[in-house]
Amino acid sequence: MLLEAFNDPLLGVIQSRIVMAAMTRGFCGPNHTATEQMAKYYAARARNGVGLILTEGTIVHRAGDGYNNVPHIETDEQAESWQQVTDAVHAEGGRIFCQLWHCGRISHADYTGGAAPLSSTSRAADGVNRQNNKPFGQPRGMENDDFEAVISQFVTAARNAMAAGFDGVELHGGHGYLIDQFFDARVNDRPDDYGGSVPNRCRFGLEVVARVLQAVGPSAVMVRISPSRDMGGLYDWPNLEEMLDYLVPALRAVGLRMLDVSCANADYYKTSGRVVRMIRPAWKDLLIGGASLSREQAEAELSEGLLDMVTWGRALLANPDMPRRFRAGAPLAEFSRDMLSTLA
């Protein structure tokens, strides 16, 4: 199944069930624009048979940045720069979604134009920002006007992405970034309607999803969540089952039909694979995940109906031709960290 083309009700005909996961690369051009080299990088994966590409995290607004040299999609210049990327991927038979990203408190005023990072809390994240080797900035808990402003930033970014030729967008609701900072009870300490109970902690994320769906439609919106992942050790959302029992039906209720369960390079079966098995009975629409599976393991997840498409990240950095290697029965090259220093 993995290497066969298939016709998805929302996405149409896809050349394989292989998905390139979103991975931060840090090679944007001036003013946080996409570049010709980025177009070549993504097109190479489509040329070799990757069915769906999820771009690196792309910042929806300067206030949500937290990394060096990552692309944005806030201004007309930034949005127009992505057209060369989408054209190149489509010319090779691939589909491509833009991952929309707001870092929340995983940031520093160095990246936000001097403003305090926004979050569900006023507590700074532990540790040091590896981008500037400074402690994470003191965030400002979002207030009433902030919610509409940030939701509007996601909506504008989604519209910009569609105007730039993307097939859709993926809303980053995982890995400890802004939306996940509301989901996660260990971070979210709010006493208001956006904190405390499970429905309240899910409220902001659901509002973002609903508004983006209204703007661009259900065939163009995917959400990434990471309820169980590796964050310096295996980590689950508190009240994991209760959260999933509420959030998954609620996402369907607002119209979402595509979900990405990510594990941040952790063991799939100990993290997102567990989550997939917990939510699959309630989620009958497009479900993707994987990241660390062998081809045989991926085929098993597909044949059992647990996943509809399978993600790979670092394996596709090391093997732009991974689908061809799978067809030929050839071994995969090993990923090494020096591959992160180039865009190839």
- Helices and strands counted in the chain (H then E): 11, 17
Compute the distance between CA of residue 190 and CA of residue 192 in angstroms, rounded to an integer: 6
Structure confidence by residue, pLDDT tens digits, 271-329:
999 999 999 999 999 999 998 899 999 999 999 999 999 999 999 999 999 999 999 99
Query: Across residues 180-200, what is the average pLDDT?
Result: 97
Structurally, how many domains does the chain consist of?
1
Domain contains 1? no
- What predicted TM-score, i.e. pTM, was given to this entire model? 0.97
C-alpha torsion 96→60→77→45, nearest 10: -20
In the chain, DSSP assigns E strands to 6-8, 12-14, 18-20, 52-54, 58-59, 95-101, 118-119, 128-129, 134-135, 140-141, 168-172, 221-225, 228-230, 234-236, 258-261, 286-291, 309-312
Contact 33, 79 (CB under 8 A): no
**pLDDT for res 247:** 98
What is Dmax (Cα atoms) for the chain?
57
Is 177 assigned a catalytic role? yes
Domain contains 16? yes
Q: Is the pLDDT of residue 130 over 90?
A: no
**pLDDT for res 177:** 96
Domain contains 165? yes
How many residues in total does the chain contain? 344
Contact 191, 208 (CB under 8 A): no
Q: Is the pLDDT of residue 192 over 90?
A: yes
Domain contains 111? yes
Domain contains 100? yes
Full DSSP string of 2-68: TTS-EEETTTEEES-SEEEPP-------GGG---HHHHHHHHHHHHTT-SEEEPSPEESSGGG--ST
- Tokens representing 321 are 């031709």
Burial category of 165 from C-beta neighbours within 10 Å (exposed 0-12, middle 13-18, buried 19 and up): middle
Q: Is the pLDDT of residue 233 over 80?
A: no
Compute the distance between CA of residue 24 and CA of residue 66 in angstroms, rounded to an integer: 11
What are the b/e assignments for 68-80, b being 16+ CB within 10 Å?
eebbbbbbeebbe
**pLDDT for res 46:** 98
- Tokens representing 182 are 């509301």
138 pLDDT band (50/70/90 cuts)? Answer: very high
**pLDDT for res 12:** 94
Query: Across residues 12-20, what is the average pLDDT?
Result: 97
Contact 91, 100 (CB under 8 A): no
Contact 18, 312 (CB under 8 A): yes
Structure confidence by residue, pLDDT tens digits, 240-266:
999 999 999 999 999 999 999 998 778
Q: Find, among 311, 298, 174, 315, the residue nearest to 235 by Cα.
A: 174
Domain contains 198? yes
108 pLDDT band (50/70/90 cuts)? Answer: confident
Compute the distance between CA of residue 11 and CA of residue 14 in angstroms, rounded to an integer: 7
Domain contains 159? yes
CATH assignment of the domain containing 20? 3.20.20.70
Residue 274's domain spans which residues?
6-341
- H helix or E strand, kind and range, residue 253: helix 240-253
**pLDDT for res 229:** 83
Q: What is the mean pLDDT of the chain?
A: 95
Catalytic one among 41, 177, 194, 268? 177
